[in-house]
Amino acid sequence: MFKYHPFHKNDMKQVWVVALLLLPAVFATSNISVAETTVTLYDGTAVVQTSMALSSQEIGNLTLILTPNAEDVEITVDETEIECLVQAEFARCGNLSAGTHLITLTYETAYPIADVGENTIVRYSDRLPYQANSHKLTLKLPVGYIVPRERGKDESFYISPAPTDVYSDGQRIIILWEHQGQELAISVIARKVVGPPVGWIASTGASLVLAAATAIWFLLRERKTPKTKPVRKKTVVPALIDNEQKVVELLKQNGEVWQKQIQQATSFSKAKVSRIVRNLEERGVITKTIYGNTNKIALKK
């Protein structure tokens, strides 16, 4: 007849203790030192660009997290574009060797918005595949939009969570958040104060209205917040990714070209060419001249 001996129970306890001690080492094999995401809003769409410095042991199937309805997804590892399987809100990119890698993710999406009277609510959740020591999220409102202020309502009503900084590049209101972790969900209430500019007079007037609205926002905000500004870290995104470099080289060789010619020469999709042109124009690399329903593109002199 089998007789239970306490020795077996103690042995089992020791096994579980060792297993629990090893669990952190098993799961803490991947870490993001720096992650930076920029969400640039346009009328009805958003361009999401994420870069991260990932240090890990070998990963069997690198999986990146997207927003719903992501389109024209581009992913690079160490500045080389790779093919990934996009399923729902995930991009599965296969094996990743051990070491530190620079990963960039770019795509377009119809961002979730809701109109409430004259205000527009923008919600976005930035989800990383692993914990990040430094997680930075930048939201660029559409041209002509501001964050309103109303008497009796706290700043958190319009921007949540509290941002690290709010500033303007002369055209857009830009909101910055910084934290540590794996996910950052934000909510912003914005208001359109100017319409699309038509001609020089309308363009000048729109700029003046936006500048005045921005100035009012800053003055009201400074009454409640200290004047010290955080030191902005250098982005980990390369100056030009491969696809942008192809367009720049094409312009160097041919001078001014039609936007459709870029699409034909590179075999990029229409959406991808539009996104590259927008990015290069905003960074001051090219100039875009509108001719009816198309554009002429040239390097900025």
For 114, the 3-state DSSP assignment is: strand
In a domain, 132, yes or no: yes
One domain, residues 91 and 156 = yes
Question: What per-residue confidence (pLDDT) applies to 263?
Answer: 87
Domains in the chain, number: 2
Are 186 and 67 in contact, with CB atoms under 8 Å apart? no
Question: What per-residue confidence (pLDDT) applies to 154?
Answer: 79
One domain, residues 141 and 209 = yes
- Which positions of the chain have pLDDT values less than 50? 1-5, 7, 15-28, 196-206, 227, 229-238
One domain, residues 122 and 205 = yes
Question: What per-residue confidence (pLDDT) applies to 53?
Answer: 95
Segment 128-167, tens digit of pLDDT = 999 999 999 999 998 889 998 877 777 788 999 999 999 9
For the chain, the first-to-last Cα distance in angstroms comes to: 93
One domain, residues 113 and 200 = yes
Residue after which a domain boundary falls, among 189, 222, 255: 222
Question: What per-residue confidence (pLDDT) applies to 280?
Answer: 87
In a domain, 248, yes or no: yes
Are 35 and 20 in contact, with CB atoms under 8 Å apart? no
In a domain, 146, yes or no: yes
In a domain, 275, yes or no: yes
Question: What per-residue confidence (pLDDT) applies to 169?
Answer: 85
Cα–Cα dist 134/165, whole Å:
16
In a domain, 207, yes or no: yes
One domain, residues 169 and 273 = no
Cα–Cα dist 173/166, whole Å:
7
Question: What per-residue confidence (pLDDT) applies to 138?
Answer: 95
Domain range for 104? 32-222
One domain, residues 207 and 77 = yes
Question: What per-residue confidence (pLDDT) applies to 279?
Answer: 82
CATH of the domain at 268: 1.10.10.10
